[in-house]
Amino acid sequence: MKTLFRSAAISTAAVMLLFSAAFDPPAAQEPRPPRVEKKSPEYRRSIEDYREAIKDAYRVDIANFKDRLKGGRADGQPITKYDLKELLQGIKFEREHTDDSLLALEMAMDHLETVPDYYSRHMKLEQEIMSEKILRH
């Protein structure tokens, strides 16, 4: 049973990797590395810290951010509820599906509302898949 779930997860992630490789955003829209201080997880940053980090990385201002995807899990939640590093990874990941950074932010918040370390887990899964592919060849 465990092998079945792992195979399904690997297959799903592999399909996601194939689609993401086919739809890379243009180089001009690549985000700059964010200026994020490494702090303990208990440390809550202010909205201005989030605003500055997101503006630095994605050239978009979240000052007037409003939910546009009605019915999302994170509707009405403050951006600062989520770990900034996870949120920045989430925006980068979700930009594979949209060129709109604010929409990508909202999608990332919805995922993080359910699983607070969603994007760290996703990155780990991708690394495992790549390692398994390398070992097979």
Q: How confident is the model over 28-54, as pLDDT tens digits?
A: 455 666 555 554 444 557 999 999 999
Within 23-117, residue ranges assigned H as helices are 47-58, 84-94, 101-114
CA-based R_g, the chain, Å: 16
User: 87: buried, middle or exposed (CB in 10 Å: 19+, 13-18, 0-12)?
Assistant: buried
To the question of pTM greater than 0.85 for the whole model, the response is no
The kind and range of the H/E element at 120 are: helix 118-136
d(CA 125, CA 94): 16
